Amino acid sequence: MPRDVPDIVIGRLPLYLRALKRMEQDGIEITSSHELGRHLGISSAQIRKDLSHFGEFGKQGTGYNISYLREQIARILQVDRGWKVIVVGTGNLGRALAQYRGFQPRGYHITALFDNDPEIVGQRIGDFEVFPPEKIADVVRGEDIKIAMIAVPASEAQGVTDQLVEAGVCAILNYAPINLAVPEHVHVQYIDPVIHLQHMTYYLR
The CB-of-131 to a copy of itself minimum distance in angstroms stands at: 19
Please report, as residue ranges, which positions from 128 to 167 form the binding site for a copy of itself (by CB under 8 A): 146-147, 149
Report the alpha-carbon distance of residue 87 to residue 130 in Å, rounded: 10
Report the alpha-carbon distance of residue 97 to residue 87 in Å, rounded: 8
Q: Is 123 in the site for a copy of itself (CB under 8 A)?
A: no
User: Closer CB to a copy of itself, residue 64 or residue 108?
Assistant: 108
The CB-of-106 to a copy of itself minimum distance in angstroms stands at: 5
Please identify which residue in 96, 123, 129, 134 interacts with a copy of itself, judged by CB under 8 A. Answer: 96
Q: Is 2 in the site for a copy of itself (CB under 8 A)?
A: no
Q: Is 171 in the site for a copy of itself (CB under 8 A)?
A: yes
Helices 66-77, 7-25: axis angle to 10 degrees equals 140
User: Closer CB to a copy of itself, residue 48 or residue 106?
Assistant: 106
Q: What Cα–Cα distance (Å) separates residue 158 from each residue in 44, 68, 148, 152, 193?
A: 40, 41, 13, 10, 20
User: Closer CB to a copy of itself, residue 99 or residue 122?
Assistant: 99
Q: Is 108 in the site for a copy of itself (CB under 8 A)?
A: yes
Answer for the pair 57, 51: CB distance below 8 angstroms, yes or no: yes
Answer for the pair 40, 19: CB distance below 8 angstroms, yes or no: yes
Strands 83-88 and 147-150: parallel
Please identify which residue in 97, 130, 164, 182 interacts with a copy of itself, judged by CB under 8 A. Answer: 97
Q: Residue 98's Cα: distance from chain center in Å?
A: 15
User: Closer CB to a copy of itself, residue 85 or residue 121?
Assistant: 85
Q: Is 192 in the site for a copy of itself (CB under 8 A)?
A: yes
CA triple 200-17-57, angle to 5 deg: 125
Closest to 134 in 3D by CA, of 171, 170, 163:
163
3-state DSSP call for residue 11?
helix
With CB under 8 A as the contact rule, which of the stretches 60-68, 133-141, 158-166, 187-195 interacts with a copy of itself? Answer: 187-195
Q: Is 168 in the site for a copy of itself (CB under 8 A)?
A: no
Answer for the pair 134, 115: CB distance below 8 angstroms, yes or no: no
Please identify which residue in 13, 36, 47, 66 interacts with a copy of itself, judged by CB under 8 A. Answer: 13
Which residues contact a copy of itself by CB under 8 A?
1, 6-8, 10-11, 13-15, 17-18, 22, 41-42, 76-79, 83, 85, 91-93, 95-97, 99-103, 106, 108, 146-147, 149, 170-173, 177, 179, 187, 189, 191-205
